[in-house]
């Protein structure tokens, strides 16, 4: 489907398609950055996503890549315990360091963009493997981080 370039919803000026250099948002332990994200920009610098569902698409794309992250296991309903995904032993209580994982994304016929997820890594005392405490740490924070990206980009809220 060809991308239709709209007029600005705020001031009715003509818009043009541009790539936003670097936009970040955070939620909990997750920091996300999108580089070269496509957006519509008018002469008065109002910005809008390329489609109404673009931010939902971004959330789905990031969630599909969660399986590529090194992840531990979470046990317990009330008192959570975090275990190594490799050997099953306890993970450290505090993160050792943060790591950035980068993914190339492509939205329809537009130029590729890059998404980066910066997450804390916890070290297993037994085997030394570094990993996230659980997939839930990322999964539950992706929508909030994307909302932060939406706000940092200056996009209007929808719905």
pLDDT of residue 14 exceeding 90, the answer is yes
If you average pLDDT over residues 117-126, what whole number do you get?
Answer: 95
Mean pLDDT of the chain: 93
Domain ranges for the chain = 22-35+53-152
pLDDT of residue 33 exceeding 70, the answer is yes
pLDDT of residue 1 exceeding 60, the answer is no
pLDDT of residue 143: 96
Q: How much of the chain exceeds pLDDT 70, in percent?
A: 97
Q: For residue range 71-81, list pLDDT tens digits in order.
A: 999 999 899 89
Q: DSSP secondary structure string, 52-118?
A: TTHHHHHHHHHHHTGGGS-B-EEE-SSS-EEE-TTT-PBBPSS-SEEEEEEEEE--TTSPPEEEEEE
pLDDT of residue 66: 86
If you average pLDDT over residues 120-129, what whole number do you get?
Answer: 95
Who's near 64: CB < 8 A, 6+ residues apart? none
pLDDT of residue 137: 84
Q: How many CB atoms lie within 10 A of CB 120?
A: 18
pLDDT of residue 158: 65
Residue 59 CA to residue 138 CA, distance in Å, equals 11
Q: How much of the chain exceeds pLDDT 90, in percent?
A: 84
Q: For residue range 66-102, list pLDDT tens digits in order.
A: 888 999 999 998 998 999 999 999 999 899 999 999 9
Residue 48 CA to residue 31 CA, distance in Å, equals 22
Give the total residue count for the chain.
159
pLDDT of residue 159 exceeding 70, the answer is no
Sort residue 123 into left (φ over 0), alpha (ψ -120 to 50) or beta: beta
The contacts found for 38-41 with CB under 8 angstroms, 24 or more apart, are: 38/107, 38/110, 38/111, 38/113, 39/153, 39/155, 40/5, 40/6, 40/8, 40/15, 40/16, 41/15, 41/16
């Amino acid at each position: 489907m060809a991308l239709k370039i709209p007029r600005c919803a705020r001031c009715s000026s003509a818009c043009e398609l541009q790539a936003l250099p670097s936009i970040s948002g955070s939620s909990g332990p997750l920091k996300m950055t999108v580089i070269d994200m496509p957006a519509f920009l008018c002469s008065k610098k109002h910005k809008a996503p390329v489609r109404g569902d673009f931010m939902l698409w971004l959330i789905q794309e990031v969630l599909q890549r969660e399986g590529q992250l090194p992840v531990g296991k979470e046990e317990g309903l009330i008192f959570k315990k975090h275990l190594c995904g490799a050997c099953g032993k306890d993970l450290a209580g505090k993160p050792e360091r943060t790591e950035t994982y980068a993914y190339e994304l492509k939205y329809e016929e537009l130029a590729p963009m890059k998404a980066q997820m910066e997450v804390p890594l916890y070290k297993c005392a037994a085997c030394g493997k570094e990993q996230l405490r659980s997939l839930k740490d990322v999964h539950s924070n992706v929508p909030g981080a994307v909302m932060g990206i939406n706000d940092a980009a200056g996009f209007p809220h929808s719905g």
